[in-house]
Copies of this chain bind each other. A is one copy, B any other.
Amino acid sequence: MASRKEVTIYDIAKVLNISASTVSRGLSNHPAIRKDTIRRIKDMALSMGYQQNTFASNLRKNRSNTIGVILPRLDSSFQSSVVSGIEKKANQSGFNLIISQSRESVEKEIANIATMYSSRVDGLLISLTCDTCKLDHLDKFLKKGIPVVFFDRVKEYPGFHCSKVVIDNEKAGYDATNHLIEQGCERIMYVSDNLLSNVYSDRHQGYINALKHHKIQHDPELTFVNKLDEESGARTFSRLLQLKNRPDGIFAANDVSAVAMIYQFKQAGLSVPDDIAVVGFNNIHISRVIEPSLTTIHYPGVEMGEVAASTLIEMLNNDEPVIIKTVVLEHKLIVRKSSLKNKQILRAPSD
């Protein structure tokens, strides 16, 4: 579909009466080229409308200048904020971004990994589906020396060490549960997605630790695993009805489901937090404005994206020492009304 002939370094060379190699060097500020030659080359390139052909350059250098991103959902409040952070850093460092979403399907994730590989991304950022068990599809990346950085939904990768960017989900789960206990809850339900996923199992472990710490008997019946979408509230409610002793507190592993529950409870005439206290996870926008406002764990999405991208870019730029690290970002319990059984003074509304 292209029409006009493109300007190449040969065209510039011809006009300036120098060789194409000098032009190539000049354009990339090679130290052996005289300053004024570089100037002449760049000026001419500009005035001729030269645009470097990245395919040729990539082919020659065997580097794509592109970072691949695979995540479960683009249309998720939290995840899109991570992408936003990734985009920001990548853009600053001159990397392009190829993005694809797995939509929580392991098959699609595998397909996406294959696409990223054949697109020859320089590095890969990935947040796994809830159901991902094996990571061997990533083998060829690491065997070839293409760095992979996991973020948020991560997994141990036997045989390979990869950098990770996460929060301390166990501690966060502890904090959330501990808060409910301090508010007087004695029978706390944990509403989760697939416990295969680190984010949900670690939060679960934190939940159990907090119970144990307060010498509260852990009742496995109170762990309810389901998809944490908008229908989650209704499912949890019907689950509640099946239980002999109704819980007096709920720790939901994400805000979307927590909000959906609050909605259900209110519909059913239950009072939040008096009948049942609720803590969510993510601090999405909605948690601030729902009524009662939702106590939740704040979790820095944009920063997570930025750190993940920086970590990868660092590996890409310094090819010498590959330092594998796990970056743990701070989370924070944001106390709002949905959990305040003891009516304390709320924090400043700026939270």
Q: A residues engaging B (CB < 8 A)?
A: 1-4, 51-56, 58-59, 62, 64, 66, 73-77, 80-81, 83-84, 87, 91, 96-101, 112, 115, 117-120, 122, 143-146, 230, 256, 259-260, 262-263, 285-286, 289-291, 301-302, 316, 319
Contacts and interface: CB of A to CB of B under 8 A. Distances in A.
Contacts of A56: 55, 59
Contacts of A83: 74-75, 80, 99
A54 B118 contact: yes
A146 B100 CA distance: 23
- Number of copies of chain A assembled together: 2
Nearest to A96: B98
A81 B75 contact: yes
A257 B20 CA distance: 56
Contacts of A285: 230, 256, 286
Given A53-B120, A74-B87, 13 more contacts: A1-B122, A1-B316, A2-B62, A2-B145, A55-B120, A74-B80, A74-B81, A75-B77, A83-B99, A84-B101, A87-B100, A260-B289, A291-B291
A265 to B, nearest CB: 12
Nearest to A287: B286
Given A76-B80, A256-B285, A285-B230, A99 B100 contact: no
A81 B112 CA distance: 19
A115 B100 CA distance: 20
A102 to B, nearest CB: 11
B76 A3 contact: no
